[in-house]
Every structure is written in C-alpha cells, then in structure tokens.
Amino acid sequence: MKVFQCMILATVLILNACVPLKKHDIKPPNNKQPVAETMQDRSERSLYLTAQAAKRDGQQALAIQLLSILISQNTEGHVKDTAKPALELAELLLNNNRASEALPYLQPLIQQASVSNFPPKEQKNLHLMYARSLAASNQINHAQDSLLRLLNQYPKFMLARYLQIELFTHTNQLALAHMAIDIAIAIQDNPTLRQFQADVFSREGKLENARKSLEKMLQLNPKNDTAILLLSQFEIQQGHSDQAEKILRAFIQENPENLRVQHNLARLLIQLKHPEKAILVYENMSNALPGSSDIASALGLLYYQLGDFQNSSKQFKKALKTIPDNASYQFYLASSLEALHENKQAGDLYKKIQSEHQIWPEAQLRLASMGIVDKKYASSLKYINSVLKNNPDNAQAWILLSTVYLVQQKYRQLLSKTEGATILKTMPARLQMNRAIAFEHFKRYKDLEKVLEALLHNNPKHADALNFLAYTYAEQGIKLDEAKEYIQRALKLQPDDGYYLDSLAWIYYKLGDYDSAANIQWKAIKIVKNDPTMYEHLGDILWQQGEQDKAILQWKRALTLKPDQMRALRLKIKRGM
C-alpha cells in the first residue's frame, strides 16, 4: 500500500471517530469488549495489514515505520498482541543492516514466558534472530552463548550452525570453526558447509585442503555454480588463470544454460586480455537472452575497446531499446557514432545525458571537442565552462579550454583563462605544454622554462617537453650543454623523430659544429619532408659551411612551403646571412 493510501486510511479513521451518532445508532455496550477497545483493535489491525502490504511492495522502510507505530501503541504491554509484529519488525531491521535497533524488540520476547506458546519453528527463528542481532551489535560472546543454548535444544538447526561457524571464523577461532563444521557435516553434509570449510582452510594457508573442500562441494551438487566459481577463483589466486578458464569451460559444456558462469568466464577472458574470446562468450549469452541490456552493453564495450565502432554502436542501440534513458549506454553509443563520423547523431545523444549523471561532464567535453574540430569555438567554450563551474578540478576541461585558445592563436587569453588551473594538485602535461607554447610566442622564456621544468619534474620521460626546452635554449644560444643532454634523452625515447633531430642539429649549429649539424639535419629532412623550418635550418647550416648556392636552394624550398616568416626568408635569399 502506498504512502498516500496510508494517509487516506488514517484520515478515514479520524473522520469516522468524529462523525456524530444518531440516537437509533447507539447500542448497549458489550460487557466482554468495550467500544473503545474495539476501535483500537481495528486501528491496530489496519496498521498491521498496511505494513504487510508495504512489505509485499518492497517498501521496507515504510513497513518498519508502521510496525514501530503499532508496537508503540500497545500501552497495555500485551505481548500476545505484538509478538508477531515485533518478530517481523526485528527481521526487517536485521535485513536492513539496523541490527542494534532490533535488539530492544527481541529481548522482551526472549524474556517473556508467553513466548513458550510459539510453535517450535517460530521459537527457533526468534532465538536465531536474537543471536544475529547480538553478533551484528558486536556482542559476539553473548551471541555465541545464545547459539550454544539454541543448538543444545535444536541440534539439527542448520541456520544456527551456519551462524556459529561464521562467528568462529570471523573472530579467527579457526579450531572451533573446524569443530563446528565437522559436527554439522556429521549431521548433514552439504555444499554450504564445504564452502565454510574451504574458507577456514584458506585462512590457515592450507590451500590444497581448501581445494579438496571445494571439489567435495561440487561433488555434493554438480550443478553448484558457486562451487565452480570459487574453484576457478582459487586457481586465479594461485596464478593458474589458464586452469581457471578450463574449469569454467568444462562446467559450461555440461551446463550450457548457466549464464552466471559464462559471465565469469567472459570477465576472466577480459582480464587475460582476450577480448575476442570474451565476445564469443557474450554472443552465446546474447542468443540465450536476446533482450538483455547487460549483455548487449558488455558486448558494446568490448567492441568499443577493439575499435570496432560499427558493432559497438549496434550493441548499444540494442541496449537502449531495453533501457532508453540509460546515460552510460547513450554516452558509449554517441562515442561510437562519433568515431564513425556520424557527429550529428553523436551530438544529439551527448546532449540527452542529464546533468545529475556522473558521466555528464565527459559528455559535455566530448561536445566541446567536436566543436573545436568544427571550429565552433563559442559553443565549445560554453560546454567547457559548464563543466568547470561545478567541477573546477576537472583536468580534461582545463586542457580543452587551453586548446580552444591555442588553435585560434589567442595566446594572451590562453594564459589568463587557464590561471585558475593552479587549483589542480598536478597540472596536466598537455595544459603545461599549451601554456609553454603561449609563453614562447611572447618570448617569455623564464616563464616557459619554469613551466617545462615543472612538467619534467613530474614527467621526466616526457619527450616533447625535453625537446621543447632543448630547442628553447638553442634558440637563445644558452645552456647548450644542458640542451644537448635534454634532446639526447628525448631521442633515446623516440630515436626516429625528425623534429627532435632538427633540434639536435640546431644545437650543434649554435655550438659551431656545422658538419655534425649538417649530417643530422639531412636525416631530419628525410623523415619530415614538408616543414619549411627544416629547410631553412639546413640552408643556414650550409651557408656557414661556405655552401652559399646550396643554402639559397634550401631557403627557396622553404619558401615554397609558406613559412610564417616569409618576408625574413626572402631577405635572407636576397642578401644572405
């Protein structure tokens, strides 16, 4: 029953109590049951029935509230009227991790002599709940004493034995746990007891014994997927992932309908970096459950990771048919479509994602990235700033913000607008590089050096930063030995990078070693054949070697590639150096 229905019921009861009675409606009271008590009984019965309806509807919090009211209204202390509701309330509290609240309702029932009227099954459950409540309230010794008394009376009560074993194991009383398990097995061997046994052996480091317990667990129930999953997990922990895969596959072959084990096999294959094999498993599961959004999304992610965006989009479309408003499905479908250059559809999906979802910032930044590509810089800034407004520590947003200004060559705005990124614990390398480019544009070499040194402090193997700093020193003609060391570190990381070779050649040029500079510059040009600066540098080197005609030829080649400084290059061709 819904909350508003309860309110209506309460209102009706109040109104009924207030309606004036006509003279002929008044009847002599029944001496055995006063009118006031009858109305109270009716009210309590209504509360109880409403609580039962709330339980059936899954509204456990409401059921707890109603049962609490019902018990609190029993001012006469008639346990017979509240014993059953109290048991139900205690069970609800226990199941909702509110064990300490259950104790006050259970203790009176344990203590009252009227409890003896309970049937044996309810007696057992009452004492078990009491022990559970004590244990959950960290009264372990009292819980164990209560269980011991209960098991003396009902030695075959397996749920009580399970709890006893759990408490012994939890408190690291492993010898007692083994004794409790052995007693229980003697009464009735079952997979649950063997699972407990395997756990205790594992805690003791007796791994072979733990394996045997799990194998016995499977013998007791060959279709027990918990046993097979624990066995496979045991193999994984021992570093035998291949054996774990064999165990899972053998079980699936005998039980092809078991999707839980298939799902675990797929996850194992993903961990082993066999996505293609995992796809085959999920495809088989998809045939068994064609409408499962979970399976479709798992397949979609696998295809996405493999770069198969066509199949990825297909799977996420299937998942969205089942759950149309799932933001994660929308995001990955949009990402797949974006990779397929279907930007209009991708953008529409990114925009559908609601701001309260955790993936919303990433969707906004994807929209910003698409805007940069399409040169829609104003809309890109809108998306970026919407993220930074609520998430000022979003590093990717700061990177994109700097990129928007960088691609427009708005270096002053780049520097001023990204000052706020200093709140980040660690400034992203890409953002530092973008700021360094802006500093270089304004010849603010001290600031540039500071930024790059900070970057290299956190990322000593950042090859682009090593190259940038080395070239900056070479351009200024300072710290050339340091510059040479930096560029050699960069080339060790990426030996075939033409731009890094150009930087090394330029350092040798500044050092006056023109022969070494020429040899390296020729190698650089073979790798990067369409950069005007490369040819201008080669021309400068050749000029210093006394090869004026060859130098002019290289400068003319540079001119055909439309360098930024065309006027200066024309003057160089005309007048030389």
* Phi/psi at 425 (5° precision): -60, -40
Q: Report d(CA 63, CA 109) in Å as an integer.
A: 20
Residue position matching structure tokens 């014993």: 83
Q: Report d(CA 93, CA 411) in Å as an integer.
A: 62
Residue position matching structure tokens 């209504």: 46
Q: Quote helix, strand, coil % in the chain, to nearest 5.
A: 80, 0, 20
With contact defined as beta carbons under 8 Å apart, do 470 and 453 qualify? Answer: no
* Phi/psi at 18 (5° precision): -95, -10
Alpha-carbon distances, residue 339 vs 307, 359, 397 (angstroms): 9, 18, 20
Give 33's strand partners: 30
| Regions in the chain scoring below 50 on pLDDT | 1-37, 75-80, 113
**DSSP state, residue 33:** B
pLDDT, residue 52, reads 84
Q: Report d(CA 462, CA 533) in Å as an integer.
A: 23
With contact defined as beta carbons under 8 Å apart, do 377 and 404 qualify? Answer: yes
Q: What is the pTM of this model?
A: 0.69
pLDDT, residue 39, reads 53
**DSSP state, residue 479:** S
3-state secondary structure at position 560: helix
Query: Which residues in 387-411 are b (16+ Cβ under 10 Å) and which e?
Result: bbeeeeebbbbbbbbbbbbbeeeeb
Closest CA to 52 of 38, 69, 64: 64
Question: Cα torsion for 388, 447, 440, 536, to the nearest 10°?
Answer: -140
Residue position matching structure tokens 């009735």: 188
- Provide the residue type at 440 as one letter: E
Give 30's strand partners: 33
3-state secondary structure at position 325: coil
pLDDT, residue 47, reads 78
Closest CA to 397 of 374, 366, 423, 373: 366
With 0-12 / 13-18 / 19 or more C-beta atoms within 10 angstroms meaning exposed / middle / buried, residue 535 is buried
* Phi/psi at 33 (5° precision): -145, 100
pLDDT, residue 123, reads 82
- Provide the residue type at 479 as one letter: K
Label residue 172 left, alpha or beta by phi (over 0 means left) and psi (-120 to 50 means alpha).
Answer: left
With 0-12 / 13-18 / 19 or more C-beta atoms within 10 angstroms meaning exposed / middle / buried, residue 328 is middle
pLDDT, residue 246, reads 95
Residue position matching structure tokens 């993903």: 270
Degrees to nearest 5, angle at CA 47 with 45 and 52: 95
3-state secondary structure at position 322: helix
Q: Report d(CA 250, CA 264) in Å as an integer.
A: 13
